[in-house]
Structure formats: structure tokens, C-alpha cells
Amino acid sequence: MPSQPLAGRVAVVTGGTGGIGAAICMALAQAGAAVAIGYNSASEKAEAMLGELPGDGHMALRMPVTDSAALKDAIAAVDKRHARLDLLVNSAGITHFVPHGDLDALDDALISRILDVNVRGVIASVRAAVPLMRRGEGGVIVNISSIAGVTAMGSNIVYCASKAAVDNLTKSLARALAPDIRVVSVSPGLVDTEFVRGLDQSWRDEQAGRTPLRQRGAG
């Protein structure tokens, strides 16, 4: 039988129906965790995923990260079913392809939307989850950032800035929540998810060409 180091643990994944989020949900379930799949509007996909995850105790919860009340309700549902929370993965995020030199196309509404979801959403999710995590043995928060936060190369300049903010925020949260809750970030390169496959082909090829293996990560 494969090892299940997370047996008996409970995990919440925001953006759980996205390409990276769905893969995280599967990996956590395979490791033995009961997984709450957080979604914004993809309720049907989240429900379908429940039947694909190994193990039991899984849930599909509406978790729009820009809605603090909805996040609080979702965590309350986890509390009611499991009475614990050990792991929060902040995988929810958005972007839109805009060439870095085209500042006019990067309008105020898009800037606000990206920062609301990618930065404020992390804070809101952590704020909602921490009380339940602290009632137990503490836990771990994983923020899904991006290499774009370091390289300043990505789908648009505000997306890059938002991920740099997530990296900085992770350090601040790690200090604020220590020692019972650890906070770390993971920065993938370009992963060939369904969303990425819908972006500009020439940009995708350029990004792949910048990697040592000249290819994107498998989605």
C-alpha cells in the first residue's frame, strides 16, 4: 500500500478546480488527506472531482477569494464536518495576457481584479482559515506564487507584481503566524494548463525557450 503521510489530516485548496489546483487536490488525497476543493463558479467541475479523488471526507466548497463572508462560511463547513484544518493551499489566481509594453491595454479594472484575487485573496483566505488551524495542532499554509514574481516576465506586468507581492506576503505571514503555523510559497514556472494553452502562442513559445529544457511544465 502506498504511503499516506497525510492520513487523518484535512486540507483546503482555493482555486481547486484550476489546472494546478486540481493536481494539488489529487496529490493531497493520494497522500491520505481529506480535501476541501474550493471553487469560485465551477461547481459542476468541483463536484465531478469528488468522485475522482481517492479516500473519503472530501468536500466541494464555494470559496471566491474576494468574498470574505463566503470564505468564512466555507471554513465553518470544514469545521462542522472535520473539526480541524491542517493545511491551506492558496492556489486561486487570475491573469490576462497583455504585452508588457502595452500599458493602455492594462486598464484600471484589470489591475484591480488581478490584485484583488492574487494578493487580497491570499490575505482573506488566511484570515478565514487561521482560527480553525490554531484550534488544533497548527498547520501549514502554502501560497502558490510564480517565478514571474522574481523574473518580472509573465502574462502581464501586474501579474508579475502580484506574485512578487505574494512572495513578500508569505515572509510576513510566516513571522506573524509562527511558530504554530508555518507559511511557505511555491513558485512554478509556466505550466501547460488549459488556461495557459489559451494564451498567445508566440508568447508561450518564447517562455518555453527561456527554460533549460525548452519546454513548459506538464499541465
**Ordered DSSP codes for the chain:** ----TTTT-EEEEETTTSHHHHHHHHHHHHTT-EEEEEESS-HHHHHHHHTTSSSS--EEEE--TT-HHHHHHHHHHHHHHHS---EEEE---------TT-TTTS-HHHHHHHHIIIIIHHHHHHHHHHHHHHHTT-EEEEEE--THHHH--SSSHHHHHHHHHHHHHHHHHHHHHTTTEEEEEE----EE-HHHHTS-HHHHHHHHHTSTTSSPEE-
- What's the CA gap between 215 and 139, in Å, rounded? 35
Catalytic residue among 46, 106, 159, 169: 159
User: What are the residues facing 35 on neighbouring strands?
Assistant: 11
39 is catalytic: no
Give the residue numbers marked as catalytic.
159
